[in-house]
Amino acid sequence: MSEKKTEACGRCSITSVVDATGSERDVLGEERIEIEEREIRRLSAHHVAASRAKEWFNSLGERLIYGR
């Protein structure tokens, strides 16, 4: 029985494309894509701020339009 290999990082779509093309080449290798938590927090801070600003503007617009 063959061992099923799973990918822990969400690279499945790339693997599916490579499998569909019938390529024998391993485009990803055995390396895993890993990012440290502090780097993710640093890189995502502007997304959090933009999301909060968007919610605030949406709320403001709703209050101005509907008087709520």
Q: How far is CA 9 from CA 4, 13, 33, 34, 46, in A?
A: 16, 11, 7, 8, 23
At 41 the pLDDT is: 85
Our CA angle for 48, 46, 63, nearest 5°, is 55
Residue 4 Ramachandran class (φ > 0 left, ψ -120 to 50 alpha, else beta): beta
Examine the pLDDT at 3 and tell me if it is beyond 70: no
pLDDT tens digits, 12-65: 656 665 566 665 666 556 666 677 888 888 888 899 999 999 999 999 999 999
pTM over 0.75: no
The whole-chain average pLDDT of the chain stands at: 76
| Distance of alpha carbon 18 from alpha carbon 13, whole angstroms | 9
